[in-house]
Amino acid sequence: MASRNKVRWLPDQLIVEGGRARAFTRRGYRYKSIVQAAANLPIKSAIIDGEAVVLGDTGLPDYQALERELGNPNSPRLIFYAFYLLHLNGRDLRQQPLIERKAALEKLLSDTAPRLTYAVHLKVSGSDMFAHACRMGLEGIVSKRADAPYGSGVQTSWVKVKCIKSDTFPIVAFVEKLGAGLRVSHRSTLAGDRTRLCPCCQDRSSPTAISPRPRVVAQSGSCCTTRD
């Protein structure tokens, strides 16, 4: 089945109706400049999914820069990358195939960049797209069936793959405050699962030793791996 791959974004939503627009965001930001651009679209009504982004010096999304710019709703650096068109002029488009909805969205936003930018998809293999996205330092990609209708929540018609790797590790020592000495977490040490420790920390002389699961753990994530 044909699929379309795109850079992974986190969703916000624009609702346009009667020459006015509103933004529904995860943390209540108003995106004033983006909302005004949406209100100026030559349409009666629309619902558009996308994400507000600030691009850094490398041309990639910069989340720290976004946090700074969100304090200024009129910031010229705020860009809305639109990736789904759910309703248009009173028509519910959610049951239409993804590729048709994308075509309608691209046509609607043909002259609105950069404030409202159409998020393009690529007709390449998912593995190639993922490898390239990770090399660029992006968070990941989403691959969707080209003929799939829209569905909210987790769907079998799409898969999300992150470049960032994470795992859970037992805490064996910690510093309580800046300048304090290193303190061993006795409870974690005694209850640690040495199968979760890095190879250099494992006790190879007791390969059959079994420990209970750690009670003090932390989750760590990274966008890459190192040889040490």
Does pLDDT of 203 surpass 50?
no
pLDDT of 116: 95
181 in the same domain as 93: no
**Looking at the 3D structure of the chain, how many domains does it have?**
2
For residue 147, tell me if it sits in a domain. Answer: no
Of 22-26, 87-91, 213-217, the poorest mean pLDDT is in 213-217
107 in the same domain as 23: yes
Tell me if 81 sits within 8 A of 48, measured CB to CB.
no
Global pTM value: 0.65
Chain mean pLDDT for the chain: 76
Higher pLDDT, 35 or 27: 35
117 in the same domain as 48: yes
For residue 49, tell me if it sits in a domain. Answer: yes
105 in the same domain as 21: yes
Single out the residue in 122, 157, 176 at which a domain terminates: 122
The CATH number of the domain holding residue 98 is 3.30.470.30
Higher pLDDT, 224 or 109: 109
**Residue 225's pLDDT band (cuts 50, 70, 90):** very low
185 in the same domain as 113: no
173 in the same domain as 71: no
For residue 107, tell me if it sits in a domain. Answer: yes
Higher pLDDT, 93 or 191: 93
Higher pLDDT, 140 or 208: 140
For residue 135, tell me if it sits in a domain. Answer: no
Single out the residue in 55, 87, 122 at which a domain terminates: 122
Alpha helix (H) residue ranges in the chain: 32-39, 63-69, 98-108, 126-136, 186-191
| Burial annotation 16-39 (CB, 10 A radius, 16+ → b, else e) | beeeebebebeeebebebbbebbe
Q: Taken in order 211, 164, 145, 151, is the CA torsion positive or negative? A: positive
Tell me if 122 sits within 8 A of 4, measured CB to CB.
yes
Chain segment 124-149, per-residue pLDDT in tens: 888 888 888 888 888 888 888 889 99
Single out the residue in 91, 122, 153 at which a domain terminates: 122
Chain segment 169-199, per-residue pLDDT in tens: 777 666 666 555 555 544 444 334 444 444 4
- H or E segment and range at residue 50: strand 45-53
For residue 42, tell me if it sits in a domain. Answer: yes
Parent domain of 15: 9-122
For residue 83, tell me if it sits in a domain. Answer: yes
Tell me if 48 sits within 8 A of 105, measured CB to CB.
yes
| 3-state SS assignment for residue 205 | coil
Tell me if 139 sits within 8 A of 117, measured CB to CB.
no
Alpha helix (H) residue ranges in 6-139: 32-39, 63-69, 98-108, 126-136
Query: For the chain, what percent of residues have pLDDT higher than 90?
Result: 29
Please name which of 95, 55, 48, 108 lies closest in space to residue 79, comparing C-alpha atoms. 55
78 in the same domain as 169: no
For residue 89, tell me if it sits in a domain. Answer: yes
171 in the same domain as 80: no
113 in the same domain as 15: yes
Return the HEC string of 139-156: CEEEEEECCCCCCCCCCC
For residue 184, tell me if it sits in a domain. Answer: yes
